Amino acid sequence: MKKIMFALVTSLAVLGANAQVGKAASEATDSVQHKIDEKRADSDAKKSGPVGKAVNNVKSGYHKNRAKNSANKAKQSLKNAG
């Protein structure tokens, strides 16, 4: 996550491709939000019964995959801007 945010800050300072940088920032924000939701689902799973654990583990897996996907999209947007 820190690498993505660092890349975004660097991109804002160096690149003039505002549309791609804006898209990358949006994707990075989505990635961070999914990471937060993943951690929340993990925490809820620890506190839940068997059915709640299963449901929250599925939620956690979903958010983990979405976070990776958003991070990859952000990286690709930065590459496209340069």
**pLDDT greater than 80 at residue 19:** no
> What are the phi and psi torsion angles at 58 (to 5°)?
-65, -45
Q: Helix, strand or coil for residue 22?
A: helix
Q: Are 6 and 13 in contact (CB under 8 A)?
A: no
The packing angle between helices 50-81 and 18-47, to 10°, is 170
- Per-domain residue ranges for the chain? 29-82
> Confidence class of residue 21 from pLDDT cuts 50, 70 and 90?
confident
CA end-to-end distance (rounded Å), the chain = 20
Report pLDDT digits (tens) over 26-65.
899 999 999 999 999 999 999 999 999 999 999 999 999 9
What does pLDDT average to over the chain? 84
Tell me the pTM.
0.71
How many angstroms separate the CA atoms of 59 and 67, rounded? 12
